[in-house]
Structure formats: C-alpha cells, structure tokens
Amino acid sequence: MRVTAARVAILQTVRAGDHLGAVAIAGGVRDRVGYISLQAVYEALHAMAAAGLVRRIEPAGSPARFEGRVGDNHHHLVCRACGAVQDVDCVVGEAPCLEPVNAAGYQVDEADVTFWGLCPACRPTDRRPDQGADD
C-alpha cells in the first residue's frame, strides 16, 4: 500500500477510536486532514483489512466496524440496546475456540465469537425506588 496522508489519518482514527464505523472514521479523518470522500474511506479500510492493518467486525444487525487490535484471537461483547462493542480476550486458556469438536476437514485459523447482552449503562438496575445509592 502506498502511504498517503489520508491513509495515515484513517489508521490513526481507527486506532484511537472504539470499534468505529466508516462514517465515524471519515469524520475523524476530516478533522485531521480535511475532506475525504466516504468511498475513499471504504476503499482504504478494505485494503487495510486485507493487509492486516485493521480488523473488520460485523455484529449482526449493525454496519461494519473497524478496530486496530489485530494479530490475536480476541472476541467481542456487543450491547443489544446501544450497540456498544468491547474487546474480550479468548474465553479460557490458549485460544480454545480454535479447536471445534468436528472441523470437518477444515484447517481452522481464526474464530469469531460475539457475546451479546446489555452493557452496564443499558442494564436495568435491581435497585428498588426506596434504596439509596449506598445501599
């Protein structure tokens, strides 16, 4: 890949962000270097993902998001209410999710596990109205 100011700004925005979508990345790039088309951002993100510089994740029901954490086998927690995404390390031990019960002849080199639930901000509290914050 050729190094350009826009591509560097895209990579910086992805690495500084938190599982951003292409529209948010384009906004961050515009803040750094001025105008860039959304199409140019998509094309650069596609090339960067293919080169292993960024990781593309696609939680069901939401647009693709990009992150700078690459090269390991981490997974994601996704909030069903607000869509927040958080990294989570492999469940137990040395990448256990890479050993399916039956690989059906495939040579597995990556697993994509998504845990769904409610983040702390969206989770209903169990506190009764008569309880104080310190109870």
Domain final position from 52, 70, 88: 70
Return the closest-CA partner of residue 52 out of 66, 32, 41: 66
Q: What digits encode the pLDDT tens for the residues 57-105?
A: 998 888 999 999 998 878 899 999 999 999 988 765 555 566 677 778 8
| Length reported for the chain | 135
Domain identity same for 81 and 112: yes
Distance CA 121, CA 123 (A): 6
Residue 135 lies in a domain: no
Domain identity same for 61 and 1: yes
Number of folded domains that form the chain: 2
Q: What digits encode the pLDDT tens for the residues 11-45?
A: 999 999 999 999 999 999 999 999 999 999 999 99
Domain identity same for 97 and 81: yes
What's this model's pTM, rounded to 2 decimal places?
0.78
Range of the domain at 97: 72-123
Q: What digits encode the pLDDT tens for the residues 10-20?
A: 999 999 999 99
